[in-house]
Structure 1
Amino acid sequence: MKPPPFAYHAPRDVGAALRTLAQVRGKVLAGGQSLIPLMNMRLAAPGHLVDINRIGSLSALDATPAGVRVGALVRHSDAEHAGAHPLLTRALKLVAHPAIRNRGTVVGSLVHADPAAELPAVLAVLDGTVRLAHWDGRAAVEREVPAREFFVGPLESAVQPGELAVSAFFPALGPRTGTAFEEVARRHGDYALAGVCAVVTVDGDARVTAARVACVGVGPVPVVVDVTGSCGGAAGGWAEAVRAVQEETEPESDVHASAAYRRHLVGVLAERALRNAAREGAAARGA
């Protein structure tokens, strides 16, 4: 299979990339692990392809006490091996296969906005942000979009024509906070039938003070549910929290699983993720 014809652009700095995007209606090429197959199957036919791989400044991964900022060219494997954020690292281990992770980018996965993908759920549960930039005719203009506004629908993000996603920010975890990511797939490396990531904070007595989950594969965007008030403050009392999560999901049936099975599965995974995250938070109580 071959893609339809397109004009190729290879800017060497962010300004040149933004000027190009302001002049043409095209797609940005970073890792290409989603875009190129879509083009080869003629499901996408951009007239212009803007390759940002020569822009070295977009390869930065900066970890600070506030969190981790990941540049647009940071590969899945680089972010995974950096280990700069516990939940991000956990999620990256579940993304496809090593060959994909060696080329695919963290920010590219977010922009692709697949509701069955792991990284959008991580950004959403952490209430992270994506930094977008565009050229206003004289200079680059940036805006920071929170995750709750960034994911608009299936395969649809808040990136507007002419904009470039230059980085994503994953906030750091607080003290006594644990994380977990649980999913079920038919085969290793496949998209999950359903998945749940959890962030749980406990106090000195191992009582839950904050708990959030984000679900994948059971809605048009990552489904984020704050279950702090549904766990009764006790780690282990997750039944009400599980019901709250299931009520917020919108699973659909397909050839792989029925909607009813996905709703049941997300409940099982939510309880498992919450329990494991709480256990990790309690183990870190001295932190």
Structure 2
Amino acid sequence: MVRAAPWLAWPVGLALALGHLLGGLLPGVAFVVVDAAYVLAVVVTLHRGRWTRDRAALALLGAGVGIFALASLTGVPTARQPTAMLLNAAVLFAAAVALAVGAVALAHRMPGLPARLGVTAVVVGSAGYLLNLLARWAVVLSGAAPWQAAVEDRAWVANVYLRGLDGVPDTMSLLLVWLDLMQVAYVVLTYVGFAGLAVAAGRAGAVSGSAARAVAAVGGVAAGLTVLCAVLAPVSVVAAEAAFVLTIPFMSTLVPALLACALLTHTPTAAPSLARDPARTNIILGK
């Protein structure tokens, strides 16, 4: 049960965030208290389990915890609430940087093609996504928030624009679509990238083979399903909705969190010691 504790951080955070954002789970002040308790529980659990030595893994797990804890407080980003949108962008920016840094750190200590391809996918996706987040600040600081607010409901939501925009889109609509597509690409590349890093971790013995295969499978299936849904979105409302859900920013932390938990809770299998088995030692030495 104790070893399973880190694996609960992501699903519990997801339930907490969705409960607050979609259902008004608790009043504002009460939610802040519960939110703080969630973060504290994760920190205490990691320290008590002595799962704090792998800083790269902690960065990956912390990115998800941070998004759930902090982005929940800022609410769904919208130009109708510029200040909240800026704070939300700052949280997402920090989480994306944490994932990229964690990916680079893991790839540095894990040789092989899967690690190189994985970290490349994460870094390339992160570059576009960070530009997306900086653009949100640019929109607000330039005074263009009202223009975005007028069109964001159709040009900044994947399940709408993937089905096609009505009429001739204006400049702001085109800009928002391209910026959001950067987010879609980022989440897909994050799925793929951390799947590759999971394979590399399995080969390096940093996680068990079964854990590596499971994490890689989740990443691969999520990436493939997202692309398929995006392609089918123009002809299927269900596919459009699925593509939207699969590319919400917090989904970018799913596969990294799984890999982080596998790294933190992995117990290396010790090689048999000949010194502890005199009979076997004598056989090998020909005695």
TM-score for both structures, normalised by structure 1: 0.25
Report the structure number with the largest CA radius of gyration. Answer: 2
TM-score for both structures, normalised by structure 2: 0.25
Greater strand fraction, Structure 1 or Structure 2: 1
